[in-house]
Amino acid sequence: MSIQQQVTDVATRARSAARVLALATRAEKDAALTAIADALTTHGALILAANAADVQRAEADGTGAGIVDRLTLDSSRIGAMTDGLRALVALPDPVGEVVRGDTLANGLELRQLRVPFGVVGMIYEARPNVTVDAAGICLKSGNAVLLRGSSSARSSNEALVDVIRGAVEVFGLPADVVQLVPGDSHESVKALMRARGLVDVLVPRGGAGLIRSVVEESTVPVIETGVGNCHVYVDRAADLEMAVDIIVNSKTQRTSVCNAAESVLVHADVADELLPRLVDALQAAGVTIHGDAAFAAYDGVVAATDDDWATEYLDLDIAAAVVPDLGAAIEHITRWSTGHTEAIVTADLAAARRFAAEVDAAAVLVNASTRFTDGGEFGFGAEIGISTQKLHARGPMGLTEMTSTKYVVTGDGHVR
């Protein structure tokens, strides 16, 4: 059977399973999530053995230490997965929420209700925890999920999905609400992207290349996630100590994530006072600064090129420039931003308001680290990714963002 046909088959099974799951009550879904968490704990040894095979293969292939680390599971990482599932149990069920309701002038009762999408496709890279997170979030929001992880995590993902399916089935829901997409090649990703009508939405999570290719090739609607070329702009009216703290935190608290800062812009009026302190603090934290002429006057600062303004380093590097004013900062951000998170440090209310209004991004932060753009930090309790597109969801996506709506209109023989 061709990969195309195999993917169509799993998608068709997901569709049937989704119809059953869509009708499950919150109590049923929560019990299934608890059963999955218990099963992952019970079968920890089996999962770690499968993961060890992936890690061994990755090391034999000469994979970088960072990627091997992200791939590696241990009992504490399995514990984090099961904690995540139990946290989902505590969250309200988005399905059935009445979003809008009215009795129309003619007496028709109009209700707009949240309903699951149906079938969600996830395409993602190395971390096996995404397998469990995605399965949990999709299950709680009533969606069947098709998981296409990376081939490097294949054994881990197979073991995790086996355990999850077993728990779901014992519990009485169809195992096919959680399935791996067959095939390791790009062909299977392609088949998933072309399964319009069977798959309702695709969520790619990973590097810019992966996301771009899904956006370009998919006929299934896509929620674009994650590429973050995030800026911190220090306004003339900023508290400079606060500015240094926010920049260092935004850049270094965790570097490999999409909400880390990648560029800093400084108002010319405070450059003389701020730059020496900022350069010191960043360099002390191990950050390489790729600066414009004003920054490059400092020791150890590398001269920036246009490429630097566009780069999501995801590492201890930051681009830095002095701008003549707030308007120029907004222009720079408009040109180079990926629309993820942009921050301003200022004590000036008018500047904060203008920045928040004119900067076009999923999140605008005022006097706070870019690292706060996160479903957990926002209080959503769970996050399937951070959308950088404007359609459907923008910013951190929790359970609510994994639903669609349906109108139910009730009359007593109404005709037009």
CB of 358 to a copy of itself, least distance (A): 7
Q: Which is nearer to a copy of itself, 182 or 376 (CB)?
A: 376
Tell me the CA distances in angstroms from 29 to 56, 76, 135, 137, 222, one per residue in order. Answer: 36, 25, 12, 11, 26
**Phi and psi, residue 195, nearest 5°:** -85, 45
In the complex, minimum distance from the CB of residue 283 to a copy of itself, in angstroms, rounded to a whole number: 19
Taking CA 348 as the corner, what is the angle to CA 285 and CA 245, rounded to the nearest 5 degrees?
Answer: 10
Can you tell me whether residue 186 is helix, strand or coil? helix
Element of type H or E holding 291: strand 288-291
Would you say how long the chain is, in residues? 416
Q: Which residue has the tokens 């060890």?
A: 52
d(CA 255, CA 286): 12
Q: How far is the CB of 223 from a copy of itself (least distance, A)?
A: 7
Q: Residue 100 CA to chain centroid, in angstroms? A: 27
β-pair type (119-124, 201-205): parallel
Based on CB atoms, which residue is closest to a copy of itself, 162 or 374?
A: 374
Nearer to a copy of itself, 1 or 415 (CB): 415
C-beta of 159: minimal distance to a copy of itself in Å? 32
d(CA 381, CA 133): 12
Q: At what angle do helices 26-42 and 44-60 cross, to 10 degrees?
A: 70
Pull the structure tokens for residue 409: 């209109």
Residue 49 CB, shortest distance to a copy of itself, in Å, is 35
51 vs 143, beta carbon nearer a copy of itself: 143
Distance of closest approach, residue 394 Cβ to a copy of itself, in angstroms: 5
Beta bridge partners of residue 205, listed in sequence order: 124
Torsion of CA 21, 22, 24, 26, to 10 degrees: 120
- Nearest approach, Cβ of residue 226 and a copy of itself (Å): 15
Nearer to a copy of itself, 293 or 408 (CB): 408
Cα separations (Å) of 289 from 303, 320, 341, 367? 8, 7, 20, 22
Q: Is the dihedral of CA 350, 356, 360, 361 positive or negative?
A: positive
* Shortest distance in whole angstroms from residue 186 CB to a copy of itself: 18
d(CA 256, CA 262): 11
Q: Give the C-alpha separation, 363 to 333, whole Å.
A: 13
- CB-wise, 39 or 95, nearer to a copy of itself? 95
Closest contact distance (angstroms) between CB of 260 and a copy of itself is 11
Contacting residues toward a copy of itself, per CB under 8 A: 19, 22-23, 102, 104-105, 108, 110, 112, 115, 117-118, 196, 200-201, 215-216, 219, 221-223, 239, 242, 245-246, 249-250, 253, 334, 352, 356-358, 360-369, 371-373, 377-379, 389-392, 394-395, 404-416
Q: Which is nearer to a copy of itself, 89 or 366 (CB)?
A: 366
What H or E segment, with its residue span, contains residue 102?
strand 98-103
Identify which of residues 322 and 363 has a Cβ nearer to a copy of itself in the complex.
363
Residues 6 or more apart in contact with residue 70 via CB below 8 angstroms: 126, 127
Q: Report in angstroms how near the CB of residue 76 gets to a copy of itself at its nearest.
A: 21
Shortest CB 206 distance to a copy of itself, Å? 18
Chain-centroid distance, C-alpha 216? 19
Nearer to a copy of itself among residue 34 and residue 404 (C-beta)? 404
Q: Which is nearer to a copy of itself, 84 or 396 (CB)?
A: 396
Nearest to 344 by CA among 409, 250, 254, 226: 250
Give the nearer residue to a copy of itself in terms of CB position, either 157 or 373: 373
